[in-house]
Amino acid sequence: MIRLLAVIVLILPACFGQASTSPEAEADSRASVPVTLNGREILRVTALASFSAAQRAQAISDRLAAAASDIATPADALQVKESEVGSTILAGDRVIMVVTDHEARVEGVPRRALADNYKTKFAEEIALFRNDRRPRLLFLATLYALGVSMAFVAFLIYGNRFYERAYRFIERSFHRKVRHHPSAPLLKVQSERLWTPISTLLRIGRTVIFLPVCFLFVGFILGLYPWTRPVARDLLELILNPLRILGKSFVESLPNLLFLLVFVLIVRFALKLIKLMFEIINNGAITFSGFEAEWAMPTYRIVRVVVIAFALVVAYPYVPGSDSGAFKGVSLFIGVVFSLSSSSAIGNMIAGYVLTYRRAYRVGDRVKIGNSVGDVEEIRVQSTFVRSIKNEIFVIPNSEVLNTSVVNYSTLAKRDGLILHISVGIGYETPWRLVEAMLLEAARRTPEVLSEPAPFILQTALGDFAITYEINAYCDKPRSSELIYTALQRNILDVFNEQEIQIMTPAYFADPAEPKLVPADKEFPGKLRPAVPRNTPPAGN
């Protein structure tokens, strides 16, 4: 599979390149190529019947350089001779260029006038070529180069020393502030980690300052001599071309950028108005039938995504470079990566909104999600945070919540009450009416149990040795259900001990010799027995 993809990647550019070769080749054949002397462009020529534009320009450039190097031929000795082929420009006996009728028609001037114009340009360039190579100018250029080189070396030495001192000063100041900080022991290890990126930024800053200076120095030295001046111009173009392209692109994109700026402001204003409306609904100032107030902010987030998506569709054609193939390819690549890597996150997000509109639970509800029981602390788009009765936080993905059963103990608690139930097994010898009366008395003694609706008793099983009774009591505080259960079970134990009735759950094997009851004199012990050390022998031994 990998090999197949590699072959496709290699073949596709070749196919597209082959498809576009012919038009480009035709365009090159009609294009003009510059004639240069010492790296300076003088004029541009096109192809002839037997010479391409590049071949012709190179030949003219070589002949012109040879003429300029020949000091025996004066610069103003160039002449033009007419022939059937065209107007020939000569430097002594050396042919430099032949101006054809085709070139004159393209330029829209007579052939002789065009040839005279070219002759003047050649003469000026030859004079400049020879002037740049005069010994006096070369000697002055060498003096300039020595002076600038000394200044550059001094800059490197003293600039580097200044940087090292500034670096050490910043490092000492940083560590001094860390040492005098109130939480210095805790920051000591973290400060070393924090200093690493700061140090890296400082060294990058030195490179950013020194590198342009080195670049300018090299360009200046190369520009002093005519033989290396073309290289200096090329180095300068390396910087100027990107800046020129960026400036031109910025100016061309300015109307689109202004449109995008105004459009972004309009979209932001619209989103603020929409958010204000949903906040009013969330606060209950405006109500709609069938629309819960708690749905307001989740609905706002959905509407915001829709508005932003619509805004992106409208703004996309105005983004600079959006019509380029590279922009489209990068956008497609990012979309594919996002879709592959965020499938679970999107699933959790959708599940979160589904749970919101299902009203499965709210913040503060006592719930049971799977095997997790606790109070809902926070409902986010990706997950739900549940605080257990042991003060633990369960982070449950919303997709998992959507695929499991949810028990909400708080939904009906305030309106109808939550039923707490406890089962006890009592022997057949105890009248069931007495047992039910004792259980109701235990419920009555529990303050958190509601009197309305009244508690009730169910006989859930007639077992082999005992009858199973279930006390059902209502409460309106589901978050305190464990404490209410504890209080109710304590009262059940108290009532049964008072009536000397033995509870036979969870198991029964035989009638004991004496009932398993707590004596009344030990119901409220005065104090605990003193602790005996493990390694101390009992007294009297």
pLDDT, tens digit, for every residue of 421-430? 999 988 888 8
Look at residues 460, 465, 470, 471 and name the one whose alpha carbon lies nearest to residue 428. 465
- Which of 217-221, 291-295, 442-446 is most confident? 442-446
Tens of pLDDT, residue by residue over 341-372, are 556 666 666 776 676 666 777 788 888 888 88
Among 321, 344, 367, the domain-final residue is: 344
Between residues 21 and 264, which one has the greater pLDDT? Answer: 264
Q: What is the pLDDT, as a whole number, of residue 541?
A: 40
Give yes or no: residues 80 and 141 share one domain. Answer: no
Asked if the model's pLDDT at residue 81 lies above 70, the reply is yes
Between residues 334 and 250, which one has the greater pLDDT? Answer: 250
Give yes or no: residues 40 and 124 share one domain. Answer: yes
Asked if the structure places residue 303 within a domain, the reply is yes
Q: What is the pLDDT, as a whole number, of residue 273?
A: 92
Asked if the structure places residue 179 within a domain, the reply is yes
Asked if the structure places residue 166 within a domain, the reply is yes
Asked if the structure places residue 244 within a domain, the reply is no
Among 294, 315, 344, the domain-final residue is: 344
Contact between residue 457 and residue 471 where contact means Cβ atoms under 8 Å apart: yes
Contact between residue 385 and residue 376 where contact means Cβ atoms under 8 Å apart: yes
Percent pLDDT > 90 in the chain is: 11
Residue ranges of alpha helices (H) inside 316-410 are 325-341, 343-358, 398-402
Contact between residue 446 and residue 488 where contact means Cβ atoms under 8 Å apart: yes
For residue 291, what is the DSSP state?
A: B
Q: What is the pLDDT, as a whole number, of residue 346?
A: 67
Coil vs helix vs strand at 512:
coil
Q: What is the pLDDT, as a whole number, of residue 458?
A: 94
Asked if the structure places residue 326 within a domain, the reply is yes
Residue 429 belongs to a domain with what CATH number? 3.30.70.100
Contact between residue 274 and residue 303 where contact means Cβ atoms under 8 Å apart: yes
Q: How many domains does the chain have?
A: 6
The pLDDT confidence band at residue 522, using thresholds 50, 70 and 90, is low
Give yes or no: residues 111 and 44 share one domain. Answer: yes
Give yes or no: residues 39 and 117 share one domain. Answer: yes
Between residues 80 and 355, which one has the greater pLDDT? Answer: 80
The partner residues of 24 in beta bridges, in order of sequence, read none
The pLDDT confidence band at residue 27, using thresholds 50, 70 and 90, is very low
- Which of 9-23, 149-163, 307-321 is most confident? 149-163
Residue 390 belongs to a domain with what CATH number? 2.30.30.60
Give yes or no: residues 492 and 477 share one domain. Answer: yes
Domain range spanning residue 326? 262-344
Tens of pLDDT, residue by residue over 331-340, are 777 777 666 6
Amino acid present at 538 = P
Look at residues 465, 484, 472 and name the one whose alpha carbon lies nearest to residue 425. 465
Give yes or no: residues 437 and 498 share one domain. Answer: yes
Give yes or no: residues 78 and 150 share one domain. Answer: no
Mean pLDDT of all residues in 181-186: 55
Mean pLDDT of all residues in 129-137: 85
Give yes or no: residues 20 and 79 share one domain. Answer: no
Asked if the model's pLDDT at residue 470 lies above 90, the reply is yes
Asked if the structure places residue 541 within a domain, the reply is no
Asked if the model's pLDDT at residue 485 lies above 70, the reply is yes
Q: What is the pLDDT, as a whole number, of residue 11?
A: 36
pTM for the full predicted model: 0.45
Q: What is the pLDDT, as a whole number, of residue 262?
A: 92
Task: Compute φ and ψ for 404, nearest 5 degrees.
Answer: -130, 170
Give yes or no: residues 394 and 440 share one domain. Answer: no
Order the strands of the 418-427 sheet from edge to edge: 418-427, 466-475, 456-462
Between residues 464 and 486, which one has the greater pLDDT? Answer: 486
Among 78, 111, 132, the domain-final residue is: 132
Give yes or no: residues 19 and 37 share one domain. Answer: no
Give yes or no: residues 36 and 126 share one domain. Answer: yes
Least confident of 286-295, 380-389, 452-461: 286-295
Give yes or no: residues 180 and 208 share one domain. Answer: yes
- Average pLDDT, rounded, for the chain: 79
Tens of pLDDT, residue by residue over 28-60, are 445 788 888 877 888 888 887 777 888 888 888
Report residue 389 as tokens.
Answer: 């009765």
Q: Which residues contact 274 (CB under 8 A, 6 or more apart)?
A: 300, 303, 304, 307
Asked if the structure places residue 139 within a domain, the reply is yes
Torsion angle in degrees (nearest 10) through CA of 104, 107, 109, 114? -70
For residue 455, what is the DSSP state?
A: P
Rounded alpha-carbon distances, angstroms, from residue 229 to 40, 234, 381, 462: 9, 9, 64, 111
Asked if the structure places residue 479 within a domain, the reply is yes
Report residue 135 as tokens.
Answer: 């010994």
